[in-house]
Chains A and B, each alone.
Chain A
Amino acid sequence: MDTLMHAPKTAAKNANAPLLEVSNLSTEFATYAGTLSAVDGVSLSLQPGEVFGIVGESGSGKSVTALSIMGLIKKPGRVTGGTVRFKDEANLLDKTPAEMRKIRGGQISMIFQEPMTSLNPVFRIGWQIAEVLQIHREMTRTEAWERAIHLLDRVGIASPAKRAREFPHQLSGGMRQRVMIAMAMACAPSLLFADEPTTALDVTVQAQILDLMVQLKEEDGAAVMLITHDMGVIAEMAQKVAVMYAGVVMEEATVEELFDSPLHPYTQGLLDSIPRKKSRGQSLKAIPGIVPNLLHLPTGCRFRDRCAAAHSACALADPPLQTMPNSTRKVRCWLHHPEPPK
């Protein structure tokens, strides 16, 4: 890869400085029935080049977390609190819309779930990729177009010069997602949000897209925040994982820790619901019940209605997310708390 495309590497002041540090992020949506907290005090931190997975059922707030960090929350939603440190920036949440636009698509970019609807149907795909380069790299139209063809080639699209002139409806779902990736990686971002990037695709295509993402991220040194409900994708891709439920992080650990010894009953439930070789022949276990209505959360722990291990303490108070002794992993459950309420 030519170095022109790489963002100038800022000399790290501190080798361990995180790329992204989110603390106490809260996002609310005003509805007719009342205000609901879609994201309720989420804290996360990402190292450069790391793949960080966020997993949870739909409605858990994982996508809203990403959109909040990107500054893409639209009315009736509103980010109500927290800080987002990114590189040397003190707080992305304090930035003006114009300042955020310089960061979005350049240093932070995003891939969405629906490749069928995420591309604009009336513009040529080459144009749509070139547009990012014109915004963030100040390229001329011709330069950007040629660069777009090069990027299409890089994401594995055959005869890219011809494809660049085509419209989204002429491409398959997998190809469209490759175009989305080309667009997201166009300016060599240091952080990429991938929101269910393979969910809408055929199983055979899913693996190809994931491989492509790994390859590009390795080449460009980008960190990835991978949002999915698919534990299999997490196991394959991520180094660290946060499990989200009803707007909060329930457990955070490395992939090995999480899969080997899940601490939270909810994580255990999620893991039990994926098919494995060793459990062949046994029936899959699903977590009973559904994600609670965010307007009417149960008192105490928000998972207790569906939890097999729920006990009296769980109804009394909402457990805090606390770090386990002698470890970096965190869990939000009275079972693992030294002093549960009585």
Chain B
Amino acid sequence: MTTVSSLDSGAVAPVSARESLFARLKKNRLSLFGGVLVLLAVFMAISAPFLPLQDPDAVDASSRLAPIGAPGHLLGTDELGRDILSRMFWGGRITLLVSIAATLIAMIAGTFLGLVSGYFLGWTDTVISRGIDVLMAFPYFLLALTVIAILGPGLLNGMLAIALVNVPFFARIIRGSTLSLREADYVLAAKGMGAGHSRILFRHILLNSLPTLVVATTINLGFMITAAAALSFLGLGVQPPTSDWGTMLASGRQYLSSAPHTSYLPGLAIFLTVLGFNLLGDGLRDALDPRMRD
């Protein structure tokens, strides 16, 4: 059949496979914008100790709930008179740190489980997959609450909780790509040449799953930031006096009518950072791994 697509295939110049990742991303202006947002958030997190910011915990009873643009406080102050601009930088540092650490934990654990179950199959796969099924049987946020109920609220426990919730996400993706890669010619060739299991797993299969993993991690970071901030918002994550964007939002909520900026500023920061990761993730997926398109 001469369909439109068969006509096209002969006529459209194939996209060069060697075209660099950056060049492909650059074409997608939205994901470039996402990248800028991410860089901005990362800059805030890294630069907090080096910038001439006020002490984020310095209480000033004389200037509580100062509005945006108040003298000496560019973004105003919160209910204890603490400088919001400074707290945005330091709070972002905690939010990003917790989310990135949780993502790394989930990625490493999930990747390992996915590799092992997809490669060895048999009872290993059955045990791991059933375990993952049980984790997935819990509604997304409920599992995090369960873990916190066991370990108690706190920054570290919150991080472990949201990490655990996202282990199945990575395990499933990597198991899928391992299943298809284990039958690939070069894996069979490596096996024929006597390569050991660990070499095949980490050298061949993991390396070739890397694009998928990069895309999954970027998209997952968006979830993680939301989840970490949500736990803090509920008072189950970061505990005072430490604070992140989630706790800032929660405490600002008491003053919605008199000083809305105390809650919408950290809210906006979370939104823009998550949006950044999602835009970047979409762009990376299109560039690196089009099969993952939803």
Contacts and interface: CB of A to CB of B under 8 A. Distances in A.
Taking the complex as a whole, does A directly touch B, i.e. does some CB pair lie under 8 Å apart? yes
Interface of A: 29, 31-34, 36, 38, 58-64, 74, 76-77, 112-114, 195-196, 293-295
Given A36-B11, A61-B2, A63-B3, 6 more contacts: A31-B12, A33-B11, A36-B7, A38-B7, A59-B7, A74-B4
A335 to B, nearest CB: 27
B4 A29 contact: yes
Interface class of chain A by DSSP: loop
Q: Which of A31, A33, A61, A195 has its CB near the most chain B CB atoms (within 10 A)?
A: A31
B4 A112 contact: no
Contact of B2 (A32, A62, A293, A295): A62
A63 B11 contact: no
B1 interface: yes
B93 to A, nearest CB: 45
B172 to A, nearest CB: 26
B11 A294 contact: yes
A312 to B, nearest CB: 29
A141 to B, nearest CB: 33
Interface residues of B, number: 11
B10 interface: yes
B9 to A, nearest CB: 10
A61 B1 CA distance: 9
Nearest to A73: B4
A218 to B, nearest CB: 27
B13 interface: yes
A250 B6 CA distance: 22
B8 interface: yes
Interface in B4-30: 4, 6-8, 10-13
B11 A195 contact: no
A60 B12 contact: no
A59 B12 contact: no
A63 B3 CA distance: 7
Contact of A31 (B2, B6, B11): B11
Contacts of B11: 29, 31, 33-34, 36, 293-295
Contacts of B8: 29, 31
A60 B2 contact: yes
A233 to B, nearest CB: 15
A34 B7 CA distance: 12
20 contacts: A29-B11, A31-B7, A31-B12, A33-B11, A58-B2, A58-B6, A59-B2, A59-B10, A60-B2, A61-B2, A62-B2, A64-B2, A64-B7, A77-B4, A112-B1, A114-B1, A195-B1, A196-B1, A294-B10, A295-B11
Given A38-B7, A59-B7, A294-B7, A33 B13 contact: yes
A227 to B, nearest CB: 9
Contacts of A77: 4
A113 B11 CA distance: 23
Contact of B10 (A62, A112, A113, A293): A293
